[in-house]
């Protein structure tokens, strides 16, 4: 089948298996060229098929020779419909890990459910015994609560006041003003139920009760803080409320895990193009400017560079893990550098549809977006037939 990108709003409904495999290989090759990571043996990554979770899995496996269990929710191919990008990424990861002689197991299903947690526990118990790192990297628009059956949908809205600001349609390059309305109380609660820390806590409880957490286990979940510019939409918005909950979960997990010499961390990561961030208004324009400025200053990083640095220089840096005054690990310090942010702020004032291509990396955002689905890679022959039905 000849596979072409089919874009619907913020997503691409097709994915290219060969392109996705190239993306995974590129990250593996990058990690293999870095000094190896120490102290990581067996890792569970929840949300392991795309973005930061996939990069965490690759960094642990190919950087530290760690065995990995990856949990994700992806769509296999059905008849002439391609699988999702995360499916193809995971097929490629599994193949590369096995070829290199590393243990890897992928579990596809709803991480919020009790069944998938139990299936994961069984895999760890049977194959690895324990895990010494649990990465929680879910980004989901909805959650069904496993105990009550209640269904929650997250929203990207402000809290309190509406916010009007600039945004860009990355596909057309049109810069416009967007107004984001404040969420209702229920919408805030629902977003916290989906993207807050309750499920992370449930995972740690289940793993602990099953005795599959190693002595000294570490767990880390991800947040985004960002500059003043994105704060009304992100940090001070509904997603920010969910991240406050995630942070308070980290504190309480940390207190619990310390009893077994373990630790729980939040890591504030930089803004990158992923399926999740591409859907956030205002942030898409911000990232287009950010990439340009960080590249100009030679400090640009993608998911894999960030996750390698997180493991090497933070979580496994030794007895002292550097954190900010709120106890968060920071790997967003290059993004938030004063010289980077002041350039973005001045460009933000003047950016329009007419000068967008010149002052921002919108074309890079567009290319990175397509790349997430395995498209636009020079090494791939898109005119050739590709087999969409790849078993995991």
CB-based contact 80:115 (threshold 8 Å): no
Find the binder of ligand NAD among 73, 88, 286, 348 (CB under 6 A). 73
Which of 96, 135, 253, 271 contacts ligand NAD by CB under 6 A?
271
Q: Residue 149, class by beta-carbon neighbours within 10 Å (0-12 exposed, 13-18 middle, 19+ buried)?
A: exposed
277 binds ligand NAD (CB under 6 A): yes
Q: Does position 313 bind ligand NAD by CB under 6 A?
A: no
Interacting stretch for ligand NAD, rule CB under 6 A, among 16-24, 28-36, 133-141, 228-236?
133-141
Q: How near is the Cβ of 332 to ligand NAD at its closest, in Å? A: 7
**Triad 328, 330, 336: Cα angle to 5°:** 130
Strand ordering across the sheet containing 329-330:
104-108, 67-72, 42-46, 131-136, 213-223, 263-268, 329-330
Sequence-ordered strand ranges (E) for 4-89: 7-8, 11-12, 42-46, 67-72
Q: Which of 234, 265, 308, 316 is catalytic?
A: 234
Q: Which residue, among 138, 46, 42, 134, has the nearest Cα to 97 in the 3D structure? A: 42
Is 275 a binding residue for ligand NAD by CB under 6 A? The answer is yes
Query: Segment near ligand NAD (CB under 6 A), from 67-75, 122-130, 350-358, 382-390?
Result: 67-75
Q: What is the CA radius of gyration of the chain?
A: 20
194 contributes a contact to ligand NAD by CB under 6 A: no
Query: Does 382 qualify as catalytic in the annotation?
Result: no
Q: Which of residues 24-63 bind ligand NAD (CB under 6 A)?
A: 47-53
Site for ligand NAD in 215-254 (CB under 6 A): 222-224
**C-beta of 187 vs 199, nearer to ligand NAD:** 199
Which DSSP category does 37 fall into?
P
Among residues 276, 288, 360, 390, the one that binds ligand NAD under rule CB under 6 A: 276
Residue pair 370/15 in contact by the 8 Å Cβ criterion: no
Token digits of residue 358: 């010149």
Residues annotated as catalytic are 234
Q: Which residues bind ligand NAD (CB under 6 A)?
A: 47-53, 71-74, 86, 110-112, 137-140, 222-224, 269, 271-272, 274-277
């Amino acid at each position: 089948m000849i596979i072409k990108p089919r874009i619907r709003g913020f997503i691409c409904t097709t994915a290219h298996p060969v392109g996705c495999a190239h993306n995974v290989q590129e990250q593996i090759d990058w990690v293999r060229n870095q000094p190896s990571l120490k102290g990581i043996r067996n890792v569970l990554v929840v949300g392991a098929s795309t973005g930061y979770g996939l990069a965490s899995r690759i960094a642990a496996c190919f950087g530290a020779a760690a065995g990995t269990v990856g949990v994700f929710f992806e769509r296999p191919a059905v008849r002439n419909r391609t699988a999702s990008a995360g499916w193809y990424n995971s097929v490629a990861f599994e193949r590369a890990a096995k070829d290199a002689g590393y243990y890897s197991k992928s579990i596809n299903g709803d991480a919020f459910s009790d069944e998938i947690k139990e299936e994961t526990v069984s895999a760890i118990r049977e194959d690895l015994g324990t895990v010494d790192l649990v990465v929680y990297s879910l980004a989901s628009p909805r959650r069904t609560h496993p105990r009550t059956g209640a269904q929650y949908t997250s929203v990207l809205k402000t809290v309190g006041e509406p916010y009007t600001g600039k945004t860009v349609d990355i596909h057309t390059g049109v810069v416009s003003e967007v107004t984001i309305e404040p969420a209702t109380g229920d919408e805030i609660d629902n977003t916290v139920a989906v993207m807050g820390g309750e499920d992370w806590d449930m995972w740690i409880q289940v793993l602990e009760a099953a005795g599959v957490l190693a002595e000294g286990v570490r767990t880390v979940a991800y947040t985004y803080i960002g500059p003043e510019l994105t704060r009304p939409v992100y940090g001070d918005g509904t997603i920010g409320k969910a991240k406050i909950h995630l942070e308070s979960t980290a504190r309480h997990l940390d207190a619990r895990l310390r009893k077994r010499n373990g630790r729980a961390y939040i890591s504030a990561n930089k803004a990158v193009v992923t399926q999740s961030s591409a859907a956030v208004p205002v942030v898409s324009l911000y990232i287009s400017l950010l990439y340009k400025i960080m590249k100009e200053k030679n400090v640009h990083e993608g998911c894999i560079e960030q996750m390698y640095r997180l493991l090497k220089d933070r979580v496994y840096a030794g007895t002292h893990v550097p954190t900010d005054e709120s106890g968060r690990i920071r790997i967003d310090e290059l993004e938030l550098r004063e010289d980077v942010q002041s350039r973005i702020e001045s460009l933000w004032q003047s950016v329009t549809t007419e000068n967008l291509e010149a002052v921002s990396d919108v074309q890079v955002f567009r290319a990175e977006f397509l790349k997430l689905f395995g498209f636009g890679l020079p090494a791939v022959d898109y005119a050739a037939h590709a087999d969409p039905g790849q078993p995991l």
